[in-house]
Structure 1
């Protein structure tokens, strides 16, 4: 019963955090509010959530990473694939080596292998926190896609490095050759498991739907089970469950591009996944805050491991680690962008310092860092305590909080008016797609009209109905086929019409609710009418 009460309290904290973040006069990001609420729960209530890292990974990471892989624009991911790989793989290895040596030099009480383990867990970034921080200052689209792609892959590379560092700490031995081979197996094995499972499930699901019809509830449940299945199978085969979940999401995007799912299935499924994403993201940061009192309670004892007696030395170490991470990321991003993103544009080869700084500030640490550092073993193989475990957890927690605070202050300022290198306009591509779709619709209407009206006495009714529908499509074609000035005027006309339609739909809905309150309309019929209006409003408002 107590476990259920704790879960409900954490869910309420997630809801309240959204209200508080909007009420505050300053643009405080929601993750910081959620951490604060979690800390209040940890201090005020006599509850303690014992985080099992394996369960934490299984419950939260597969669905979130699967959804990110599913929804990320694949063409953007592949277009900046070289840059993303440089950040997700090269920067992680660079960070692990550089920060591992720096941490061991700064705090000799942390053995070198443990220092590399700590560097490995603070190397992955968290795009969820970045999105929350920058929601009031939009991130340039291309920058956000690079950050999303980087975070999808650097989680796996960071945790693989963590696995090697822990093995080295336990055994006292490390082989570069064995590590490289294991890294390839873990990475490509995870990708193969995720992609193979999703492709197989997708083919079977589509085959059953074609023959027996589609059940929306089953389709949604299948989409929820796929990331967990991919993660568990990959982990059972000692591959990367995280990469399996990412690969499953990317493959799901390819499968869904076939458009076989019913429209009602897609609408309901998107709603379910939006709720899961909001809830899981919030729970992660609330749990992080709830763990703070437990971790800080032993700070005075932990700091003595470093040879000091004053707790403020921990703050010095946390700030130093954050500065080191920022410096390494700034240098790597500057070199990476100069060799890839800016060279592709042909305009300039030297990155704007604000773009590089924004990418550096966007390197916020979050859930992966928290869960990863908790996987440090409690004891060595001989039964002795794992060296500096509590200190590593405390430093990792400090890095998460400081990176969130610094990003919430610096990122909005850096992003204000910032633009990535110019890209070709996509308006022509959108106009072409809308014209092609409208022409296909007109051809389909003409065919249906001919098939239905043939030999009927009331054929003129079919002709009139088809004409009314086709007039709307022909108007769309005319508004988007012409000179750029004509197209701009046509799009403005469409926006004016959209605003009027939205006003009309809202008036319809208000009248229906008014009739329900006066008992002039039954609730069942009202729900049907409101759903139709809601779908239309979603269409025009989107």
Structure 2
């Protein structure tokens, strides 16, 4: 019973944390607020959670990586594969080597393998956390695509490197050649396992729909929630990378028919459920960090004394030093990569894009560490061997926690200044793409209406033909307006967009009045709850369509 109450309390605090951020008189990143709330739960209220690193890793990592893989724009991931891979693999290796040796040099009694484990867990970045600390400034879409792709792939590469570093510390053996070979095998095996699970699920769902004749949205979403765990456990069973399996399973979802076709209810439920899962799991990770902080600080002080002594403020100095090392290494890597790109363009006789130092600093400061780093460091084992504790575990967790806070603070201060007015050469034309897609979709809709009207005309019933003509004219007018509004700049598109905006305001006012009246009818017992739910759902879908259209 105590465990159930604790889980409910944690979920309540996660849910309230979003509201707390909005009512604060000053802007704070959500992760910082959640860490503070976790610390408050631990000390004044005495809420305690027994921690199992393996269970924690299994519970939190697969769904978060699966969601990242699912959400990442696949086209941009392919088109920008050069800079993304340079950051997600090259920078990860550069960071592990640089920060690992730096930590070992700064705290000599920290074993080199443990220092590499800390560096590996600090290499993943968090694009969601980055977007939350830009101070309302819009990150250039192309840069955001690069950061999102980097965050997706370096989560996997960093966590796989963490497993190798922990294994090296536990076994006392490490070979770069064997590690590279094992990495290739585990990576390919993990990707294959994830793809296999997603494809199998797609085939199973199609068979299930064929047998039952309909789609049960709730059961399909429930099965989808289990998918990342299935991919992870299958991969781990065959000693390949469960981390990459979860990523591959998420990326493959767009290539199966799980959410295609006319399954509107399933898509809406799935989107809502996964948004809730991501928010809750990210929040729980930072809450648990806050709850562990008091014990971690005490353990870190003990580890520091065993590592050669020193004052408590040394810990703060170590955190700042590691954070600065991460930013400097990232700056160097991005600067050198851009110089290489410019030199290659010059060699090929291509036009050299103008890239300033502000872009390099923006990319360097955008390397915010977040939930994956926290989940990874908390998964460090308690014991190296039976009866032998894992070296300086609490110190590593404290340093990683401090670096997360430091990168959030650095980004919250620096990014709003560097992002303001920042533009990238070759910016992706999302607005034009969306207008083109809306125009083509409206044209297809008009053709569909014409085909349906032709079927009625072929039937030869005069009353049906007249009715179809009136209805087709009314529906076609709506799509014709959309088609005009989707055009390029000019008088006709401008008037059509103004008309569409006014019509949207009127329709929203009508829908909200309709919903208010329905609730009033329920209060007066004119309709029952089932009727209310059915009609309100129709109004909600109509409003979602209007607001979604406007948002685009």
Query: Aligned to 2:463, which of 434, 458, 477?
Result: 458
Deviation digits for residues 220-249 of structure 1, max 9, x if unmatched? 122111111001111112222121111111
Cα offset for 1:285? 0.9
Distance 1:439 1:367, change over 3 A: closer
Deviation digits for residues 437-467 of structure 1, max 9, x if unmatched? 2222222223333434624352211221122
Cα offset for 1:131? 3.3
CA separation in 1, counterparts of 2:448 and 2:202?
Answer: 28
Partner in structure 2 of residue 358 of structure 1: 362
CA separation in 2, counterparts of 1:381 and 1:261?
Answer: 54
Residue 531 (structure 1) aligned with residue 532 (structure 2): no
Partner in structure 1 of residue 504 of structure 2: 498
Partner in structure 2 of residue 472 of structure 1: 478
Cα offset for 1:23? 0.9
Partner SS, residue 462 of structure 1:
helix
Distance 1:340 1:498, change over 3 A: farther
Distance 1:515 1:121, change over 3 A: same
How does 1:510-529 map onto structure 2 within 5 Å? 510-529=516-535
Consecutive unaligned residues in structure 2, runs of 5 or more? none
CA separation in 2, counterparts of 1:287 and 1:321?
Answer: 23
Cα offset for 1:73? 1.3
Residue 420 (structure 1) aligned with residue 421 (structure 2): no
Aligned-pair RMSD on alpha carbons? 2.5
Cα offset for 1:41? 0.6
Partner in structure 2 of residue 103 of structure 1: 103
Cα offset for 1:501? 2.1
Q: Answer whether contact 1:130 1:364 (CA < 8 A) is retained.
A: yes
Distance 1:350 1:102, change over 3 A: farther
CA separation in 2, counterparts of 1:458 and 1:342?
Answer: 72
Residue 276 (structure 1) aligned with residue 282 (structure 2): no
Q: Answer whether contact 2:285 2:375 (CA < 8 A) is retained.
A: no
How does 1:150-165 map onto structure 2 within 5 Å? 150-165=150-165
Cα offset for 1:151? 1.4
Q: Answer whether contact 2:365 2:415 (CA < 8 A) is retained.
A: yes
How does 1:105-124 map onto structure 2 within 5 Å? 105-124=105-124
CA separation in 2, counterparts of 1:67 and 1:253?
Answer: 12
Residue 397 (structure 1) aligned with residue 398 (structure 2): no
Consecutive unaligned residues in structure 1, runs of 5 or more? none
Cα offset for 1:33? 0.5
The answer to which of 66-75 and 176-185 deviates more is 66-75
Partner in structure 1 of residue 145 of structure 2: 145
Q: Answer whether contact 2:141 2:428 (CA < 8 A) is retained.
A: no
CA separation in 2, counterparts of 1:488 and 1:408?
Answer: 38
CA separation in 1, counterparts of 2:320 and 2:471?
Answer: 69
Alignment coverage as a number of residue pairs = 542
CA separation in 2, counterparts of 1:190 and 1:135?
Answer: 38
CA separation in 2, counterparts of 1:76 and 1:339?
Answer: 21
How does 1:407-446 map onto structure 2 within 5 Å? 407-423=411-427, 425-446=429-450
CA separation in 2, counterparts of 1:202 and 1:393?
Answer: 40
How does 1:260-339 map onto structure 2 within 5 Å? 260-339=261-340
Cα offset for 1:380? 4.0
